[in-house]
Amino acid sequence: MIHPLLRQPTYRLIDQSSLGAAFQAEQSFATDDTLCASTKHQGAVLRAWVHLNTVVLGIQDARLPHLRDGIRLLHEHGYRPVVRNSGGLAVVLDEDVLNLSLILPENDGIQIDSGYEAMTSLIQNMFKDVTDKIVPGEIVGSYCPGSFDLSIDGKKFAGISQRRVRGGVAVQIYLSVRKSGSARAALIRDFYDRAIQGEATRFTYPAIIPETMASLEDLLHIPLTVEDVLRRAYDVLGETSRLVPATLDTDEQATLIVQLDRMWQRNEPIRDIEHQLLEE
């Protein structure tokens, strides 16, 4: 059964999954805020996005006692850090991680759990032909753990977050489609080890066990690509809603400039650290 929130009259489809290295994560978070502000008048959106070799940090991650050393480690592995404007902790993005943003108008009010449940329903329906084992629930030992981690047989392949801005709700999910989910987890484990160095912290960061995470391809035992998974999302939403390929309109593009400036400002401390590391 598909969740009622997914039954929108129309979805604008914004596919940013193949824009390459020039498309940076700051642009994605600014875009979702822009679409939240316009969805009340423009209708629901499904946005797909992929970023190459990026580690998205949460607000608490930006307060780690040895953040500079942690960022140095990420650079050593070829990853770029970005601090997001939504909740959660560090996650890994690369060419085999598909992110989906389900952006819905909050006309009648959407409870926080309802947003998570709608995204869970979408993913479960996307793969109902191959498994009925996708379940929500925190996977201890994973990175960015939460009540709506998605897993199969106890191994996490996805995490969900939410962002609410001016009448709209963006429910965001990352899906580890291919390659090693445990290798991604090992990177974040090593990042925390380097950025904490055994010091006491007010916030409790996860003790990551890489084996708790895997990719969909490994868990389902079928070949998958980002394009395959996105097509499955379109097929599910197309059963109950009209799908319209779209781009940001003129007003949204103007709003995006403002939102992007906010993201650049949020990430100025991170860029300062990176510049210092380059000068060493």
- Measured at the alpha carbon of residue 111, what is the angle toward residues 110 and 117, in degrees to the nearest 5? 95
User: What is the predicted pLDDT for the residue at 86?
Assistant: 74
Cβ(106)–Cβ(93) below 8 Å: no
- In this prediction, residue 131 carries a pLDDT of 98
- Rounded Cα distance between 186 and 208, Å, is 8
CB 139 within 8 A of CB 207: no
Q: What is the pLDDT of residue 182?
A: 95
Q: Do 158 and 224 form a contact (C-beta atoms < 8 A)?
A: no
Cα 90 from Cα 122, distance rounded (Å): 24
Q: Verify whether residue 36 is a known catalytic residue.
A: no
The predicted structure's pLDDT at residue 20: 92
pLDDT at 108: 63
What is the domain partition of the chain in residue ranges?
A: 4-279
Rg (C-alpha) for the chain, rounded Å, is: 18
Rounded to two decimals, what is the model's pTM?
0.95
CATH 3.30.930.10 fits 4-279, yes or no: yes
State which residues of the chain have pLDDT below 50: none
Catalytic residue among 56, 73, 102, 144: 144
Alpha helices in the chain (DSSP H): 25-42, 67-76, 112-126, 181-196, 216-220, 226-238, 250-266, 268-279
Q: SS3 of 100, please?
A: strand
Instruction: List Cα–Cα distances, 57 to 60, 80, 219, 280, in angstroms.
Output: 8, 10, 26, 23
